Structure 1
């Protein structure tokens, strides 16, 4: 007979629902549609479209069907744009038939965008009831940019209320569920993108990030996310209850891609970055190339130096997070052309999370709360204890915050030179995405591991490494390191066997974050290539 504890565990295991295979097995997609949606990366799909093997209309149609199936399983979409997308696809086919040439380098690529981006003729509610039934009058610049390259936007994807949570839930469209395990969070705020891309309902998507909103859903859905530096990807054209140009004076959101591989991230960024300055006033001139000391066949170059930053100094990573980071570090130490160094945690790093939070709230969140309260809409569970009315900062108070930010930036800058101050010694850093595994719904805890690198404006990406295994459970073993503070105490509740059944984490993805210095976005891409390739190669047999 099972004990009560065993019965509870069995019940929870029974509830662990993975829906990833349903699009393949449900019978709604033809073999041709399965081939289109499963057999290609971005460059491969673009190549076969350009060769005429697939018409754009059938490619877009296949992904629209798969996105619709993904939505029925996870509630990942807000605005299906299928009719609009199919018309664009037919226009692209007509152009190709007449000219024999694609419209642009992303000709026929089906993509999705986060709900906060405007698409003319449909809502951008950002999960706020007050903004429903107010269709946008023009596209966001990034939508225009994607379409100028030949991409086809097939849908907009779900976000948390006010794009303000790390769990995707709102009172208009409901909660987006994690297709890998519907007991766990899908992440936020770009959670709908995370789910639809994981389920291959889109080839790639564009999200936004200020507290981790690209990297967290990538972690939760076992895909890849790329938070660029400010000015690399057009961001303007967002809705959502903020004072005008808030980002210019506080903490600035950035836009960036999510995809199923590092190569797919690069396939978008190599065309977006050089053109971004033509579509938004504060985007900078850029080229998707640079000098990176990666060893290439026949080339002479120095080793790539990758630092290991094990903590943010505020929250201690839980054991499986510390373990997977160490595993990646050990793998890189065995990788030819790579040197691994330990990065002492800069004391100033622990200040970043608090500073980022205060800068996000410089307007007291008053315009946002006005919108939410105007319809009597309740706050979603994740926000109920985290968001409310505050006080607007004066210009003097804002200036003082920005002065503190500058001081933190100067201190943290030293970790790239290991205090030599003469030349850069560290090319990239690996770091946890979060100090805990993918948690249950509404239990995501620490923001500092992601929000700090928005404050510092360091490009950062997330890479899935492996799944959570039985050996990671350490049942009956507890953390004995001193508690660092309230955030650390809250984080440990996600490992305390009195407050969580650790078995809920089994088979969930474990990821790492890769970080490079400000404006070294191409170098981030190259570092992610090297690290991803290293962790994908199976260990040699002895």
Structure 2
């Protein structure tokens, strides 16, 4: 049939259909050969990147062994047991040496990554920074503290891959602002951690360096996109780490891994992750200073407000168990309810406070998300797509016009308040971001709230699940749209009763996403809550987080 058609269409060329077919086959073979060559080039770049990573780890293992031989009396367990605030004090006063602390954490990080695959690279320059610290007369707030940083945070001489093979090119030419400020405060960046391909996924896997595992359960994801940080810190391989948060990328791995994490006010901002709230507060004290304000003029020159953080007056706390868009598992809602009761008993005023439409917040992100999705589709066309990202990429490849048509077809089938399907298929916002933010703040003020307590997505999902449950990030995404500071604090663990209740879970709409969530099992895994304050009130957010952490710890001791 094809040959007959070609014979009618191309008579002037005097080519018989067999010749044309041969040319088409040759062209197809040439395209296939080019694709194979491109894939082979990508694979070679990946192999070289993994070889360099392994070589770097081996070099640091030798450095650790040299230190152990020269210091046979060193006690790593004592160092690893210290919380960040106490460790920083001992380093500053000199009762602990920066050298012993650094090599202890490098050694632990190497052991952790053999189990969890959370390191993308070790920074060998950390050894040279030890010598630089010895000559410093003034000691910063993070003097000698080893810190880890997420893959895309620029460090001079090292790659920032975002999990993409095409980014395995020239290394960074300058240190990022964060790295400069950390060094100014005496911190020692020693490790770069793994991320999901594109950073636009809350699992942690890429085709170059592979899948990072959750230290609580290797069948579970550590969350993302700061998943390498979450796994490393939770397993004890770092005491302070830095991620970034465009839609929950600090808070989700903190929730999945049982950590404390803070998303600052600015959208997409870099923020700290640590074992406790005290560590986050110390970090923010160190960051919010003259060095940062001079290097980055976009950050308001507002130093850390110690008075606000240390205040003890009762708080007016609003809370909600669901945002009305995606109903989180029973254990996450229980955590909010029980934490609210503890806060009430502690003398705070706690009252229900339902936010404005979260489906509207999701739709406000859709234009920016569409642009980002287009970039991701372009990048993966030059790369090997990681299996964890494939469900999202397949969705992104649907033309925008088709999504809008689907939105029109879906709208009559769901309630007007429903957001999941409409937003997923390209619905449009009815408010501008600023109007939505103004409306939300006005309601907050009318209720006379200081802070808000609400759920965060969790517990940790099974590996591969995040790419299939995109709508579930509404709990964190809301505060990226609003540009509010928001933090995560672990408060309890999943119980058998939670799992039993999950069997009857239907969500808000009992759609495909809700039914998928029903299959998640996680007894014993960490359960966290989210603490929120108004813009530029990071200290109040941290104070609230500290109160929640203290009450949760007291309850744990009593049970």
Q: Report the TM-score range of the alignment, normalised by the length of the smaller protein.
A: 0.7 to 0.9
**1:485 deviation in Å?**
6.9
Match of 2:305 in 1: 289
The 1:476–1:62 alpha-carbon spacing in structure 2 relative to 1, beyond 3 Å, is closer
Measure the CA separation in 2 of the matches of 1:476 and 1:381: 25
Contact 2:203 2:224 in 1 (8 A): yes
- Conserved? CA contact 2:331–2:498, under 8 Å: yes
Whether contact under 8 Å (1:190, 1:217) holds in the other structure is yes
Cα pair 2:119 2:191 within 8 Å, conserved: yes
Residue from 278, 281, 289 that aligns with 1:266: 281
Distance 1:505 1:141, change over 3 A: same
CA distance in 2, matches of 1:403, 1:320: 33
- Does the Cα contact within 8 Å between 2:197 and 2:389 map onto a contact in 1? no
Aligned to 2:295: 279
**Aligned pair 1:87/2:128, yes or no?**
yes
Q: Hey, what does 2:55 align to over in structure 1?
A: none
Picking from 101, 108, 130, the partner of 1:66 is: 108
Does the 8 A contact of 1:176 with 1:191 survive in 2? yes
What's 2:435 paired with?
407
Report if the CA contact (8 A) 1:142-1:279 is conserved: no
From 337, 350, 360, the counterpart of 1:340: 350
186, 205, 210: which one pairs with 1:169?
A: 205
| Residue 290 (structure 1) shift | 6.3
Distance in structure 1 (CA, Å) of the matches to 2:510 and 2:533: 28
* Counterpart contact for 1:120–1:136, Cα < 8 Å: yes
- 1:48-127 maps to which residues of 2 (within 5 A)? 48-81=90-123, 83-93=124-134, 95=135, 99=137, 101-102=138-139, 104-127=140-163
- 1:412 Cα deviation from its structure 2 partner: 1.7
> In the alignment, what sits opposite 1:22?
none
Greater percentage in helix: 2
Change (3 A) 1:282 1:307: same
1:328 alignment partner, SS class: helix
Deviation at 1:414, TM superposition (A): 3.2
1:224·1:258 contact (CA, 8 Å) conserved in 2?
yes
Equivalent residue in structure 1 for 2:249, among 209, 213, 232: 213
User: How far apart, in 2, do the equivalents of 1:539 and 1:140 lie?
Assistant: 40
| Alpha-carbon spacing, 1:449–1:36, altered in 2? closer, same or farther (3 Å) | same
Distance 2:119 2:293 in 1: 29
Gapped runs of 5+ residues in structure 1? 1-27, 231-251, 394-399, 420-424
Q: Write the mapping of 1:434-513 to structure 2, written as runs, cut at 5 A.
A: 434=457, 436-444=458-466, 445=469, 446-474=472-500, 477-479=503-505, 483-484=508-509, 486=511, 489-495=512-518, 500=519, 504-513=521-530
Alignment TM-score, normalising by the size of structure 1: 0.79
Report the equivalent of 1:322: 333
Question: Which of the pair has more CA radius of gyration?
Answer: 2
Q: CA-atom RMSD, angstroms?
A: 2.7
Are the counterparts in 1 of residues 355 and 440 from structure 2 also a CA contact under 8 Å? no
Q: 1:384 aligns with which of 382, 388, 391?
A: 391
| CA distance, structure 1, for counterparts of residue 238 and residue 144 of structure 2 | 12
- For the residues of structure 1 that align with 2:183 and 2:400, how far apart are their CA atoms? 39
Shift of 1:401: 6.4
How far apart in 1 are the matches of 2:378 and 2:82?
A: 46
Q: CA deviation at 1:43?
A: 2.1
Alignment: residue pair count: 459
**TM-score, normalised relative to structure 2:** 0.77
Does the 8 Å CA contact 2:242/2:272 hold for their aligned counterparts? yes
Residues 384-393 or 280-289, more deviating: 384-393
1:519 & 1:42 partners in 2: Cα distance?
24
| Shift in alpha-carbon separation, 1:364–1:541, aligned structure 2, 3 A | closer
Of residues 449, 457, 462, the one that matches 1:426 is 449
C-alpha distance in structure 1 between counterparts of 2:444 and 2:377, whole Å: 40
What are the superposed Cα offsets for residues 462-487 of structure 1, whole Å, 9 maximum, x if unpaired?
00011112222216951367x3375x
